[in-house]
Amino acid sequence: MTFRGPYADGPTAADLEIVSPRLEKLAWKDPVRLVVVFFALVGYTTRRLARWAARRGEKDWRDAAAHGVVDAFETLGPTYVKLGQVVASSPGLFPQPLADAALRCLDEVPPISGAQVRRIIAEDLGARPEDLFTVFEDAPLSAASIGQVHACRLPDGRDAVVKVQRPGIAALMATDLRVAYFISLRLERISKVMRAAKPSAMIEDLHGVTFQELNSALEAKRQHDFLQRLHAFGDNEGVTAPEVYWDYCGPRVICMQRMYGTPLDAIDADRLTEIDGPDLLRRGVKAWVEAALVHGVFHGDVHAGNLWMLDDGRICYLDFGIMGELHGPWQELMRDMFYTGMFDADFGRMVPHYRSLGIIPEGTGTDAEIAMRLQLVFGPLLKSGMAGISIGRTITMLLDMAKQYDAESPRELVLISKQLLYFERYSKNLAPDWVLFSDKSIARNVFPDAVAEAERVAD
């Protein structure tokens, strides 16, 4: 008889609900953790500075202090490791010594034991792994701050993996985020550097995405939906994502198809000479662009570990814990940004969107004045032709312009610009001469008439 777990018929609306504890107010037990965090930060930083003083001249004291902070992050556990990952991924926002030291946080974290993993699976699915799978490996394939992945084999012979959440991680991260927020607000009051970096805003963003990632049912549903939409236009055969095996999924467990391949940043030089790098990247970007501009739900964390080239040559999206949603006027704005960049460079088209969405405050200049300012910002870029323009940086510059009017940058557009910058970074290795804006084929299903006309003119 086929096993049927709690999500065999798919998760319910209640299962998919995101429950985010309050960030602004400490809970009664948080002061204990606050003391632990404080002494960890002070203790590890002091120890590194003492070592620096004993060997003065080897490194700058700022480097020593930064490594002390990261030592504390690693000791304090998953939440602070994740905080370090954000710092490492945003070097322009933090002092360089801290951003460099935080690169250590991008390494895998120590895994939980196989016994703990087996217990979580049994609690969630109601049966022991040895009764569910013909093979289950205690040693994880990978371990991250929130969960880890184990190889297994289903009774019908399919190779699979099980992604299991760390025990007690939700409560720990809720406490740690409140404590980190409390500390960051006070640091911003006393430090000009911290006021400029504004770590409290970073923690607010981290709080927003963390409790999405902690909902395994939501992650599995998004992964399933992404795979279903991937072939909405009858193409994208060269792109995929793992199939979710719902019978073996639970509140803290996702079971899915096992994929065999290589992360994009781990493809060696010899292999690069054997593959069509531009085609590989083009396929991945095209699928992502359609997800954002047509379907409205897009992968929000396309670092190289989440994008693989499979052994059969397809490109594969992994890890759907962080997703962005783009609907209504925000999607219209992004579609116009892409159209402007790809086809006519008319940045004045952005002005009505900026006004209607409140990105430019009401009463600020005329449409013509704002359009002229946009032209001044982007004119130098346009002189080199569209092939010289970075679409990720273009969106970032538009968002920076909004900040000049004291307008908040919408999280979804910030998330989009970050993903596009990831893609452009991959192009340096996979396709040095490929520029996203100049490749109209990636918008074939978004702007079919415009792409067809551009191809007709080119012929």
**Mean pLDDT over each residue of the chain, to the nearest integer:** 86
Does position 198 have pLDDT exceeding 80, yes or no? no
Contacts of 122 (CB under 8 A, 6+ apart): 128, 129
Quickly state the pLDDT bin for 419 (edges 50, 70, 90): confident
- State the Cα–Cα distance between residues 102 and 82, nearest whole angstrom: 10
Whether residue 1 has pLDDT greater than 60: no
How far does CA 413 lie from the centroid of its chain? 13
> pTM of whole model > 0.75?
yes
Helices of type H across 340-410 = 350-356, 367-383, 391-404
For residues 207 and 367, give the distance between their C-alpha atoms in angstroms, rounded to a whole number: 37
Which pLDDT score, from 0 to 100, does residue 435 have?
76
Q: Poorest-confidence range of 39-48, 93-102, 146-155, 210-219?
A: 93-102
Consecutive H or E run containing 32: helix 30-54
- Of the candidates 343, 325, 290, 328, the one whose C-alpha atom is nearest the C-alpha of residue 457 is 343
For the cut 60, the answer to whether the pLDDT of residue 382 exceeds it is no
- pLDDT higher than threshold 90 for residue 412: no
Q: Write out pLDDT tens, residues 169-192.
A: 999 999 999 998 998 899 889 888
Residue 263 exposed, middle or buried by CB count within 10 Å (0-12, 13-18, 19+): middle
Q: Distance between CA 351 and CA 203 in Å, rounded?
A: 31
Pairing of strands 297-299, 261-263: unpaired
Distance CA 36, CA 410 (A): 34
Residue 385 pLDDT: 42
Q: Where is mean pLDDT largest: 258-262, 339-343, 433-437?
A: 258-262
* 90: pLDDT strictly greater than 80: no
Q: Which helix (H) or strand (E) holds 41?
A: helix 30-54
Question: Which residue has better confidence, 441 or 87?
Answer: 441
Whether the Cβ atoms of residue 245 and residue 255 lie closer than 8 Å to each other: yes
> For the segment 230-287, what is each residue's pLDDT rounded down to a tens digit?
999 999 999 999 999 999 999 999 999 999 999 988 888 888 888 999 899 999 999 9
Q: What residue has token string 């000009």?
A: 192
* Distance (Å, whole) CA 334 – CA 312: 33
Q: Does pLDDT of 304 surpass 90?
A: no
The confidence score (pLDDT) of residue 289 equals 94
Range name among 32-46, 111-125, 387-401 with the lowest pLDDT average: 387-401
> Which pLDDT score, from 0 to 100, does residue 401 have?
63
Burial classification of residue 251, based on how many CB atoms lie within 10 Å of its CB (0-12 exposed, 13-18 middle, 19 or more buried): middle
The answer to whether residue 324 scores a pLDDT higher than 80 is: yes
pLDDT level of residue 396 (50, 70, 90 thresholds): low
pLDDT of the residue at 130: 95
The residue-averaged pLDDT of 373-390 equals 55
> Is it the case that residue 376 has pLDDT exceeding 90?
no
For residue 224, what pLDDT is reported? 97
pLDDT of residue 352: 85
Alpha-carbon dihedral of residues 303, 304, 306, 309, nearest 10 degrees?
A: 150
List, for residues 103-129, the tens digit of each pLDDT value: 888 777 789 999 999 999 999 999 999
